[in-house]
Structure 1
Amino acid sequence: MNETNPIGGLPAATGALGLDTYEMSMRFGSFTALDQVSMKVWPGTVHALLGENGAGKSTLVKCVAGFQRPTAGSILIDGREQSIPNPVVARSLGIGMVYQHFTLAPGMTVAENLLLAGGKAPAVIDWKQKRAELAQFLETTPFKLDLDARPQELAAGEKQKLELLKQLYLKPRLLILDEPTSVLTPQEADEVLGHVRQFARSGMCTVLIITHKFREVMTYADDVTVLRRGKTVHHCAVRDTSPALLANAMVGESSAAAPERAAAPVLNASSSATASTTASLEVKGLDVMGDRGTLAVRELSLAVAPGEILGIAGVSGNGQRELVEALVGQRPRAAGAVKVQGEPYAARREENHRLKVRSLPEEPLRNACVGDLSVAQNMALRDFDQAPLCVGGRLRFGHWRSRAREWITGYGIKTQGEGAPIRSLSGGNVQRAVLARELHGDINVLIAANPVFGLDFAAVKEIHTRLRGVRDQGGAVLLISEDLDELLELADRIVVMSEGRVVFETPAASAERHVLGAHMGGGHH
């Protein structure tokens, strides 16, 4: 077969393709990432790939997309063995991939990013015609994006939609999605996955989706393959399995059901908001400017009582990010007041110490760490100038290191040691390191923004347990999350943000998903 033209001189095929991996193995030195994985993906189906971090899911799809070459075994496209030495060949076969990490060109508009995706943009672009084409293309999708916006102005959920649109614009025959919904709300996820499933059902495209959300597998996938430690441990039609079976296959033993929540001694919503003396965190009439010079947060008021988790729900891009930045001191406040323990709070380092305020920001490596500093140094950022880390003006590095080693063990952080630069850790381990630092000592207020974004099953469970621990010791937790399941499971009370305002409030115990969804979807009720 002609290597340069993977189609072997035939006209490029269109429509959904069939994919098989046959006894595919991938070794890195002595480490086996994939161990004789055989998987069958039928044309025109949505096939889910499940497994914990490190199970081999990403390695498998990277082999199919031409980023890695398997050490053994083969890949079949439409029943024919196919060598895929690089991404260019994968693309010519009609294989497109959407990554978990964004690959957008930040200085370019949505329209420019879409055109760039094709890789064949002419030197001179007739923008009027192209814009009309792109607008027409957007009409065929359920997403509304501003063609003139730039990625840095887009919220995570909108970025994810743009990544997906980039691929759909190229009409792939096999679309690989790597955790496409980790940044989306349930509504957005349903929108994206519903669209992708329609796309597959129409016979235009086959979809292989990496996820670790059982709800998505059960609702949208036709078939599912579970990987554990590089081996296929479960492979069947979705109608023949259940979340319990999938969980067992993933973790290798029966995972205990989530503990029943004891209702926290919560002040009811109205009393906690009015009786400011009892609130650990109180926000009144807060206005915050967004990046586009308009108000991103408008007249927002809320209060969190001691021993309460208040969840903030909302579709990505409705002011949550700006609210968090204004609360933790990364963005100025245009109006309004914030109090902690009844005292005015401007998020200065000294106030954080005195009032015991901590935060777990989104994308911790970018927002809560200094990438080139070691794990031990990052763990000491909050209190390096306090005893016992600093005595009589002298920094005691031995203490930093021994405490870091304790935390690495206590939090199960996988690292080459406390001296390794923190940027060398995986996302889940960076988050655990930040957690160890932020949860150390007494806490009055903890502000957590999408704290389990992109983490695996085990890390999610552990972080959730620790957030509950803060609440159970009388701390007030403000939990901003784009994952409604997470809020329903953890929060005592939930408020919904839409267009920068709080538009709805409910006790979590009686919250109904569809009602929350309606308010999250905007439109003032």
Structure 2
Amino acid sequence: MDSAVLTPEAPAESKRAIGIETVGMSKIFGSLVALDDVSIKVQPGEFHALLGENGAGKSTLVKCIMGFYQPTHGQLLVNGQETPIRHPQDAHSAGIGMVYQHFTLVPCLTAAENMVISRANVPAVIDWKKEIGDLEAFMDRMPFRVPLTEPVATLSAGEKQKLEILKQLYLDQHFLILDEPTSVLTPGEADEVLGLLHDMARAGDITVLMITHKFREVKAFTDNVTVLRRGKYAGGGKVGDLSTEEMSRMMIGEAEIRKSAERKAGVESAVNVELAGVVVKDEEGIPTVDGVNLKVAGGEIVGIAGVSGNGQSELVEALSGQRPIEDGGVFINGKPFDCSRAGYDLFKVFGLPEEPLRNAAVPRMSVAENIAFRTFDKPPEANAGWWLKPTAMKTRAAGLIERYRVKTPSTDTPIENLSGGNVQRAILARELSHEVKVLIVANPCFGLDFASVAEIRAQIIDQRNNGAAVLLVSEDLDEILELSDRVAVMSEGKITYVSPIGETDRNTIGTYMAGH
């Protein structure tokens, strides 16, 4: 949606948006200063973006605003008046509401029931005829609506996100904090929701403070931006006056960012991977991957795009041996691949699953031990396949830690003590320090800092340029568009669309992601 298409501003007397200001706000947990003297001002009717790396203080700031935390120092002003917020109910009373990254709706209840039970004054006996009538009148005043009598479980992700927003407006909240509001939406749904909120802000109905990591949405929909870094205010201003590079630099400071290698054309490789009629079932025996057919050539990245919950996670679990393939098969260079450790070794298949601390590591084991998972039973780290040599493991791990720039106190540090980005780097060190023929990665950059994202994406391109066949599963469409040679869309367990990346666009991909 073009942010230049705006609704006319409403007369001043009809405006209901409120503004807030934090003055010298700090939050200290023991020896940790999570928020350090942060002052921001969000004017009534403004759509304001809050940017920062993981751990920058964004969540701490909004939790102080919402009353989940009490600031150690500082004040909160609402419409210029100091307003103590001791708990979330105080925030709600002041007109401040929050839409969380994950839905807080009750799936088995209808939209109307979800809205009514969210009130603080729900009567013991509910007159549903009256409530539905009141809700219909409320919907008539809103710029968008959702079906009131349908169970929430039957609504699309976009409708659920709209319902979360409508619920806050129904509760008379006119300062909305949005936490990564488009993470579960298709591109079309995301643009629609943010466009409608932008129009409501411009009309003076609401003020929006949005936590996001998507620069495209910041540039398209927001008016002003605040950037936090390491708990402190790092900069900000009018979005139109700032480039993406300037905002990025505010976020990361002077940290070194690895530039991605140029994508080589015509990479020669004899590797080919084929998924032939793959069927994977969930715990209840229902197919969540339903006859998937897909080919990946060496020297190519095929990105699987899709809204969360359409079978992508189950497909990756099956390819990594964590879930059985019920029907069909996987073939590498025409030979069956059984998704076992032996098969991974034979065909030189390596992977980076999502949430690697949970899916690819043993948290309490050391960094060196986790790096050795692919080699612990092979020389020089073992004799005869079983006599382990810890010194050799540590020596090899130390070299990989330096090469992949893993920040860890020592090779003996439990891997669970590392930051998310350094866990990813350690797993990458383990998986990419060999001759890689096939690479399977899933949401590789989710929740990581800017520098780690750049490093990991560069490593993926390097493997592609070296002739590996790369299957990239990601819910971040920008990541798919940046890295892939071809894109495949997965919807309701099936591959519904495949195209070279240069012959498609965001809107077309988004349409198929939505199941159309």
Q: What is the TM-score normalised by the length of structure 2?
A: 0.81
1:240 aligns with 241
CA contact (8 A) 1:248 1:255 kept: no
2:509 aligns with 516
CA contact (8 A) 2:263 2:461 kept: no
Spell out, residue by residue over 1:218-248, the C-alpha distance to the aligned partner (whole angstroms, 9 max, x if none). 1111211122343334332223323233223
Q: 5 Å matches for 1:323-338?
A: 323-338=315-330
1:48 aligned counterpart, secondary structure: strand
Q: 1:198 to 1:385 in 2, by over 3 A?
A: farther
The answer to whether the aligner puts 1:340 opposite 2:332 as a matched pair is yes
Q: 2: CA distance between counterparts of 1:346 and 1:506?
A: 28
- 1:110 Cα deviation from its structure 2 partner: 6.3
Q: 2:433 aligns with which of 440, 453, 475?
A: 440
Q: 1: CA distance between counterparts of 2:392 and 2:66?
A: 47
- 1:518 Cα deviation from its structure 2 partner: 2.8
Q: 1:328 to 1:521 in 2, by over 3 A?
A: same
2:57 aligns with 56
2:342 aligns with 350
The answer to whether the aligner puts 1:492 opposite 2:485 as a matched pair is yes
Q: 2: CA distance between counterparts of 1:380 and 1:98?
A: 42
Spell out, residue by residue over 1:62-108, the C-alpha distance to the aligned partner (whole angstroms, 9 max, x if none). 221223333333211111112223334334433333445x58699x7
1:147 aligns with 151
Q: 1:155 to 1:437 in 2, by over 3 A?
A: farther
The aligned amino acid for 1:511 is T
1:369 aligns with 361
Between stretches 177-186 and 136-145, larger displacement belongs to 136-145
Spell out, residue by residue over 1:389-428, the C-alpha distance to the aligned partner (whole angstroms, 9 max, x if none). 3323223333444444444444344455444444444433
Q: 2:469 aligns with which of 464, 468, 476?
A: 476
Spell out, residue by residue over 1:354-410, the C-alpha distance to the aligned partner (whole angstroms, 9 max, x if none). 212122222223322334444444333333333333323223333444444444444
The aligned amino acid for 1:323 is L
Question: Which ranges of structure 2 fall in alignment gaps of 5 or more residues?
Answer: 1-14
1:217 aligned counterpart, secondary structure: helix
CA contact (8 A) 1:307 1:476 kept: yes
Q: 2: CA distance between counterparts of 1:291 and 1:133?
A: 41
Q: 1:246 to 1:464 in 2, by over 3 A?
A: same
1:315 aligns with 307
1:362 aligned counterpart, secondary structure: coil
Q: 2: CA distance between counterparts of 1:162 and 1:365?
A: 33
Q: 1:345 to 1:26 in 2, by over 3 A?
A: same
2:173 aligned counterpart, secondary structure: coil
The answer to whether the aligner puts 1:216 opposite 2:217 as a matched pair is yes
1:305 aligns with 297
Q: 1:455 aligns with which of 448, 452, 459?
A: 448
The aligned amino acid for 1:288 is V
Q: 1: CA distance between counterparts of 2:365 and 2:98?
A: 33
CA contact (8 A) 2:105 2:152 kept: no
Q: 2: CA distance between counterparts of 1:340 and 1:513?
A: 31
- 1:148 Cα deviation from its structure 2 partner: 6.4
Q: 1:70 to 1:158 in 2, by over 3 A?
A: same
CA contact (8 A) 1:138 1:144 kept: no
Q: 5 Å matches for 1:103-252?
A: 109=108, 114=114, 118=118, 147=151, 149=153, 170-201=171-202, 203-252=204-253
Q: 1:120 to 1:239 in 2, by over 3 A?
A: same
Q: 2:497 aligns with which of 497, 500, 504?
A: 504
2:94 aligns with 93
Q: 2: CA distance between counterparts of 1:328 and 1:304?
A: 16
Q: 1: CA distance between counterparts of 2:99 and 2:390?
A: 43
The aligned amino acid for 2:304 is I
Between stretches 429-438 and 340-349, larger displacement belongs to 429-438
The answer to whether the aligner puts 1:287 opposite 2:279 as a matched pair is yes
The aligned amino acid for 1:396 is K
CA contact (8 A) 1:65 1:84 kept: yes
1:18 aligns with 19
Q: 2: CA distance between counterparts of 1:177 and 1:119?
A: 20
CA contact (8 A) 1:95 1:173 kept: yes
| Corresponding residue pairs, total | 496
CA contact (8 A) 2:45 2:208 kept: yes
The aligned amino acid for 2:226 is T
CA contact (8 A) 1:279 1:342 kept: no
The aligned amino acid for 2:342 is E
Spell out, residue by residue over 1:190-212, the C-alpha distance to the aligned partner (whole angstroms, 9 max, x if none). 24433443453454432211222
1:378 aligns with 370
Q: 1:356 to 1:135 in 2, by over 3 A?
A: farther
Q: What is the TM-score normalised by the length of structure 1?
A: 0.80
Q: 2:379 aligns with which of 377, 387, 394?
A: 387
The aligned amino acid for 2:39 is S
Identity of aligned residues (%): 49
2:38 aligns with 37
Q: 1: CA distance between counterparts of 2:308 and 2:103?
A: 19
Question: Which ranges of structure 1 fall in alignment gaps of 5 or more residues?
Answer: 1-13, 268-276
Between stretches 112-121 and 420-429, larger displacement belongs to 112-121
The aligned amino acid for 1:118 is S
Q: 1:331 to 1:257 in 2, by over 3 A?
A: closer
Q: 1:170 to 1:444 in 2, by over 3 A?
A: farther
Q: 1: CA distance between counterparts of 2:428 and 2:316?
A: 17
1:5 aligns with none
- 1:490 Cα deviation from its structure 2 partner: 0.9
Q: Over the residues paired in the alignment, what is the CA RMSD in angstroms?
A: 4.0
Q: 2: CA distance between counterparts of 1:304 and 1:131?
A: 54
1:23 aligned counterpart, secondary structure: strand
- 1:511 Cα deviation from its structure 2 partner: 3.0
Q: 1:439 to 1:201 in 2, by over 3 A?
A: same
CA contact (8 A) 2:54 2:447 kept: no
Q: 1: CA distance between counterparts of 2:289 and 2:375?
A: 31
Q: 2: CA distance between counterparts of 1:426 and 1:286?
A: 35
- 1:184 Cα deviation from its structure 2 partner: 4.2
The answer to whether the aligner puts 1:429 opposite 2:422 as a matched pair is yes
- 1:181 Cα deviation from its structure 2 partner: 3.2
2:374 aligned counterpart, secondary structure: coil
